[in-house]
Structures are given as C-alpha cells and as structure tokens.
Amino acid sequence: MNTEILGIALQIILMIALSYPLGRYLAKVYKGEKTWSDFMAPIENLIYKVCGINPKEEMDWKVFLKSLLIVNLFWFIWGIVLLVSQGWLPLNPDGNPAQSPDQAFNTCISFLVNCNLQHYSGESGLTYFTQLFVIMFFQFITAATGMAAMAGVMKAMAAKTTQTIGNFWQLLVVSTTRILLPLSLIVGFILILQGTPMGFDGAMKLTTLEGVEQTVSQGPAAAIVPIKQLGTNGGGYFGTNSSHPLENPTYLTNILECWAILLIPMAMIFALGFYLKRKKLAFVIYGVMLSAYLLGVVVNTYTEMNGNPRIDALRIAQTGGAMEGKEVRIGSGATALWSVTTTVTSNGSVNGMHDSTMPLSGMVQMLNMQINTWFGGVGVGFLNYYTFIIIAVFISGLMVGRTPEFLGKKVEAREMKIATLVALLHPFVILVGTALSTYLYVHAPAFVAGEGGWLNNPGFHGFSEQFYEFTSCAANNGSGFEGLGDNTPFWNYACGIVLILSRYLPIIGQVAIAGLLAKKKFIPESSGTLKTDTVTFGLMTFAVIVIIAALSFFPAHALSTLAEQLSM
C-alpha cells in the first residue's frame, strides 16, 4: 500500500479509537460523576469564589443564554483594548505595532466566535502579550463556550420535563479545567520535544547557506498550538499556520495536530449517547458524520495525489501529485486529509495552501463548511446537526401522518420555525456577502480592495476566493483561499458582521429549541413512535442536510469550483 495512504488510514483509525473512551469521560464530567480529574475541584472552587458564582444554581435557557452573551461581550471589549494598544504593552521584543481599529475589530470578533480568521500575519501582527492574553485565552474560552452550550442541550434532552438546563458558568469552567487544559498540556509537551519553540526571546537572525541573512520568529508557540487544534480554533501562531516548520516540525507533529482537530468533536457525539443513555442514537449520528467525512477524504486524497490533468497532458512528471502550495516534507496526501479534517470542523488551520488545491478539492472544502454539520466545532458541531434533526423529525412525522416527536417531546410550529431560520441563516449570509463583494469588485474595486487589497485571480477562481472567504466566516472556520487580499476595512468589517451573526444567532436558536422542548410534557414511546435511532432516520437526516445545501449552494459552485474543474 502507498505509505501516504497508509498514514491517512492510521490517523483516521486512531481518531475513531480514541473518541469513544474520551466520549465516556466527557459524559461523566458533565453529569458530575467521579473522574480522575477531580483533583481540579479546589482550583474550580477558587474560581467560583473569586467570581461570585454558585455552581449548583440551575438556569433556565434564557438565563443560560444571557450569561453566555454577557461574558462574550466582556471579552470582546478586553480584546479590542489590548489589540489596539499592544505596541505599548510588555512582551514585545520585536517591536510589533498596534493593530488598526478595523483589524482589531475583525481579529477580536474572529477569535471570540471560535473562527480565528486571520487578516494579519502572526509573526508581525501580534505581540507575545496579545498572543497569550487575547489569542490563546480566547481559544480556551470560546471552545469551552461551545462545549458548555452542548452540555446544556444534553441536559435538556435527557430530562423528561424540566425548566432548567444547567449552570453555564459551571459548565464553562469544567470544560476548560477538566478537558481542554489537560489535553493541551499533553499535546504541548510532545510539540516541545519535537522542536516547537517555547520561550520569550525575540526573533533570531541567521545566515543561510546562500549567505543571506534571515529573520526567524520564535516565542511561546508550543503553548498556543495545542489549544488551536483541540478547541477547533485553528488560528496559526505563524502566518503560514501549520505548514510552518516550527509550528509543525515533523511528520509526527503533523499526525498529532491533525488528530487533535477531530478528537473532541468526535468524542462529543459519543458523550451525547452516554449522557442520554442512548448509545444507539449516538452511533447513528456518528455514522452519518463519519461517512460524509470519509467521502470527502477519498475525493480530496484522489484529486491531490493524482495532480493536475493539464500537466499530465503536457507529459510533465508530477512526483507526489499536485504539490503546488504543499510542504514536500508532508506530502499531498497528508495535506488532502488535513484539508477535509479542518473543514468538517470549525478549525480552519492548514498545513498547505487551500488556494492551490484542485477545484474539486476546493469544492469539498467549501461544502464541508457550507453544510457545517459533519462533526463541526467542539460542542456547536452537534448543535448544528441538532437543528437538522428537528427539521427531519418534522418532515418525517408529516410523511407518516403522525405528530412529530423527538425523545418524547412534540416538535411543534415554534421549534420548527426557529430551526428553519437557523438552517437558512447560514446560506443567506454566505450568498449575500459573496454577491455583494463580487458586485463591488466589478463596480467599485477601490472600495473593496482599499490600498493593500487585491484579487489575485480573475474569473472562476477569483469568484471562488470570495465565496470561500464568506463561507469560512459563516462556518466559524477561519481558513481561506489566500489569493484574496482581505486586510482592508471592507473585508474586516464585512467578515466581522458575518462572524457575529453566524456564531450567536444559531446558538441562541439551538439552545432555545432545547429549552422549549425540555419544558414540554414527556410522552412515553409507543409502537407508533417515530424511531430516531435507526439507520433509516439517519439517512433521512443526511438527505435533508444535503438537499438544503445542494439547493442553496450548487448555483454558486456552478460558477466557481465546478466551472473551473470543467475548464481544465
């Protein structure tokens, strides 16, 4: 077997094997059962005491959401202040300047919503202080926010009838102290052993073999890279992200970082099954997500390892496949796997340039984000799938002539309206944003591009670059087709608005649905109850997701990725 394909297979098997026991552990943490991490309790109690939190106080879904939004607003102000003043703050040995207000707005919003879209280069756009106290801090908090939201939904789903869905603050804290922090420490130690820098010295000046002086940035990279992967954050410490030889030094670190992206999102599905005591339901959901993920891996691996047909037509050897924009030390197969792994989640990190992948690979990457339910971000991945479960239950109930029910609760007009609005918001912001930017590039290019912006590629691929940018923002992903010059006021503010809408409105809707259903009278299952833990219902949910995505995005793909593929 090809060694690259073998490496891909082993990584996937490892992720699946580890996600099951981790899922069991996550369920125990959120249910408050005894675990090996109970030694963190004194630290958690100190946090509760200092912050004036009663961790045993139950919240209804409205108070839960209010707490979530208030803490995010506070940290937004915190981040803006630090970013626009970072040039005067400590831990800045390289003398990097402060960010402009529009760039700080975009950066702060991007990391606050777990997107990590970067309209700057890490080496020069941030200082060590803001890397730690804005970027790394946000990567822990935003990941824990999504996990806390899912934990609240799981509590609502598990109860027969309840007015409360848990305590947001308690769930936020344990998500950080008992899940994200321990896993980040393990990954961080391995990265240090493999050569990722961890210190506070300024950039080194080295002389290359050609006799040219080169500046090599350093800093606390090993502290930030683990949580960027485990929290499905994705923001690169260095400008080239995980294709940088210090952020991703070896093939082992490449496997470790790629594995870390999907580990918690996969485990959260099993945690759902353990928490609800419905493992069959979890297996069905996991199976649907895994099948879609593997399909993308097969397509991208094939297209990237086989290369460009135009080069074949010219009889030019393509050793290793389509290698443009890829690291020779990692290979096209590993980049293909990473490109699917990072886009089925809201991670967005890259170990090669997505702008250089083949058109069909680019379409798979965008469709993963446009569908936005195949594992997804930590916590919010299932919440997006939950939206489509509600829609599928409603449609299935109408098809068989029964009142739609999910886990013993009737799905009625109010829940269906919220689910529909959440499902349609995603394509709306992507397509409207893309249409607006395309129109302005034709009729007012200076307004869009500004002084430092550009669109590198005309035609189909240029349209794809804009389409990808808004898709990445709406999916809280953060990767990009980097032929697009996006550090301009238009892109900073436009993307920031899409980021806010696409993060908070869905969470509000999904938690509201769970809270509304939790209050309803529990109806015991009967012989006429629609089973939602069967392969048939899994296929029904898959069909609903794909149909909505196809109807929404196929016309735009016909003008971008598909048109570019056919032109080859």
In this model, does residue 313 exceed pLDDT 60? no
Q: What is 438-459 written as a DSSP string?
A: HHHHHH-HHHHHTTT--B---H
Report d(CA 319, CA 406) in Å as an integer: 52
In this model, does residue 484 exceed pLDDT 90? no
Enclosing H/E stretch for 281: helix 279-306
**Predicted local confidence at residue 286, as pLDDT:** 95
| Alpha helix ranges (H) inside 126-205 | 128-130, 137-158, 168-175, 181-194
The larger pLDDT score, comparing residue 480 to residue 49, is at 49
**Predicted local confidence at residue 367, as pLDDT:** 93
For 461-482, b/e burial (b = at least 16 CB within 10 A) is bbbbbbbbbbbbbbbbbbbbbb
Amino acid making up residue 144: A
Average pLDDT value over all residues in the chain: 88
Distances (CA, A) of 276 to 77, 154, 407, 502, 514: 37, 7, 10, 28, 14
Dmax (CA) for the chain in angstroms is 79
pLDDT band at 228 (very low <50, low <70, confident <90, very high): very high
- The model's pLDDT over 112-136, given as tens digits with 9 standing for 90+, comes to 888 888 888 878 889 999 999 999 9
- The model's pLDDT over 511-543, given as tens digits with 9 standing for 90+, comes to 999 999 988 888 887 776 778 888 999 999 999
Sign of the CA dihedral running 481, 484, 489, 493: negative
- What does the pLDDT average to over 230-255? 89
Amino acid making up residue 270: F
Residue that the structure tokens 């939190």 belong to: 53
Sequence spans of domains, the chain: 378-567
Enclosing H/E stretch for 352: none
Least confident range from 203-212, 269-278, 466-475, 542-551: namely 203-212
| Cβ contact 219:200 at 8 Å | yes
Look up residue 400 and give its two tokens.
């068989």
Least confident range from 41-55, 316-330, 384-398, 529-543: namely 316-330
| Cβ contact 224:237 at 8 Å | yes
**Predicted local confidence at residue 317, as pLDDT:** 55
Look up residue 4 and give its two tokens.
């690259």
Amino acid making up residue 524: P
Least confident range from 40-54, 75-89, 354-368, 525-539: namely 525-539
